A and B are shown apart, each in its own frame.
Chain A
């Protein structure tokens, strides 16, 4: 059986959580059959609002619902909500500190078949720069579902970045997630790979390959890109002396940027960033080969680790 996609993990969890929390309302911008907010829509039609192809309006309506005491989950394609509705998010969600959850589907390169118009590779950078915003990127379908109640019960703006695809499963059912608390998935003392989203599974595969070559990589999952788990990253820097970041996002301003910022002020160790180079991407026949072609292959992580180890002081 094929792995469950991240969007399905989220969509099913949202519908289930709707039973528990009557304040949750859901909006979509004519993409509910894609984001899979339609599971919620089918179960709670009176709490679902399809605003049409109008992401800025959808975000503003969500702000209004939040002002009225609801907990809105606003769903759209990441590329659209993070760009078209950016001002709404800045002014009305973050500056006005409204309790809106932005569920940004099809993030990164996961909408492989539609190409660069629908790829979202700068959304972490823009969302992370916003005061008051929390940025969460789950690694797999199970984790995506686990975040739904946590986000709903957190008071404040959240940007929740979801892949369209099935990513490599990383977690087991017992997983508990906490905003701002990274997860150590693999111990190691030679180097640390810090991954987020779909790149967490690939980071673990890279660590296995490296182990066969005699290099023990620690693997951290940073699901909350903001607020960043600085302590966990500083500890890894101290104990392993070299860091590689891995994300399905531009190398500018995302996880790699966040980690670089925190290392340079506190634990200046060698750092390499695996991500999409500063360039527009292209269309592909499947997400995996697109990620590989865009510098996100397991082998790219392995190479980056070797590079960073070469820079690590002996």
Chain B
């Protein structure tokens, strides 16, 4: 694991802040989207798209690139923001999100949007699809890594665990899953809707390597992504403890903000908070 200077961490934190502001602006402008689960993954997305993943926006189909599946596809706002800021398409496109003529769909569409590796939006697919992709990498002697970002509530879907068994069976060390464990889902707290604990234990008994981190601590995020590279006999899941709606006081830990856009006043306050002006 390489040492990461504080300057990199600070730069990535700034990226995360930008992605939060972009996401909220998009959701506010469109009057639709999922703010809570976009804000909770900002550090993870910044670390992946601006540091960890090998990507080339000039060659979106570069065979050696790392692959990313946003299994929690409803957090599309922050994926689109990351792809635009990374140069896969113009930032201007973000303003057209959801319009009939725009390539940016409500949920990610790999046939329409450059840089979207796989269509998603219905929960539960990422680990199983990522397993197939990781198998193909091994068979093709390519050393790319497959990253899957999924939600905690998403892990209530049985197919997640079918995929987890598959990845373990084939010892897919080139697969890293990251769970956004914010403990809030559409209808309320995850621990009330359908408790997932012991969550780390579940992945362990499914024969995954488990790294548990604070998903808002950039150094921990970056180091966990590195650590996963050093595990060679099994897939890795990073259980990232996060706060749904992170960075906007009135959105934090409130299931109301799972899929509701802010009004004018709320938006102004949210942006002010994210800019550190409050």
Contact = CB atoms under 8 A, between A and B. Distances in A.
Interface in A75-116: 87-88, 91-92, 95-97
B136 A65 contact: yes
A183 interface: no
Interface string A275-288: 00000000000000
B137 interface: yes
Interface in A41-91: 46-47, 49, 51-52, 54, 56-57, 60-70, 72, 87-88, 91
B132 A62 contact: yes
Contacts of B125: 60, 63, 88, 91-92
Contacts of B134: 64
Nearest to B73: A91
Given A63-B129, A97-B111, A69 B162 contact: no
A49 B172 CA distance: 13
A96 to B, nearest CB: 4
B165 interface: yes
Contact of B166 (A25, A51, A69): A51
Interface in B115-134: 117-119, 121-122, 125, 128-134
A177 B130 CA distance: 34
A64 B122 contact: no
B152 to A, nearest CB: 20
A91 B111 contact: no
Contact of A57 (B67, B137, B163): B163
Q: Is the interface of A mostly helix, strand, loop or mixed?
A: helix
A91 B166 CA distance: 20
Contacts of A67: 67, 117-118, 129, 132-133, 136
A68 B122 contact: no
Nearest to A54: B162
Nearest to A61: B132
A52 B165 contact: yes
B129 A68 contact: no
B140 A60 contact: no
Interface string A141-177: 0000000000000000000000000000000000000
Contacts of A63: 118, 125, 129, 132
A108 to B, nearest CB: 27
A43 to B, nearest CB: 16
A65 B133 contact: yes
A75 to B, nearest CB: 15
A68 B128 contact: no
A54 B132 CA distance: 14
B132 A68 contact: yes
Given A49-B135, A96-B119, A64 B162 contact: no
B110 interface: yes
Nearest to A84: B159
B131 A61 contact: yes
Contacts of B205: none
Contacts of B135: 49, 61, 64-65, 68
Nearest to A22: B139
A63 B127 CA distance: 11
B140 to A, nearest CB: 6
B53 to A, nearest CB: 16
A96 B118 contact: yes
A61 B128 contact: yes
Given A51-B166, A57-B166, A91-B122, A64 B128 contact: yes
Contact of A68 (B109, B121, B136, B163): B136
Interface in B97-116: 109-111
Contact of B119 (A54, A68, A95): A95
Contacts of B131: 60-61, 64
A96 B105 CA distance: 13
Contacts of A70: 136, 139
B159 A96 contact: no
B147 to A, nearest CB: 13
Nearest to A65: B132
Contacts of A61: 128-129, 131-132, 135, 163, 166
9 contacts: A54-B166, A56-B162, A60-B132, A67-B132, A68-B133, A68-B135, A68-B137, A70-B136, A92-B119
Interface of B: 67, 109-111, 117-119, 121-122, 125, 128-137, 139-140, 159, 162-163, 165-166, 170
Q: Which 7 A-B pairs have the closest CB atoms?
A: A64-B132, A68-B136, A60-B128, A57-B162, A96-B119, A61-B132, A64-B133
Interface of A: 25, 46-47, 49, 51-52, 54, 56-57, 60-70, 72, 87-88, 91-92, 95-97
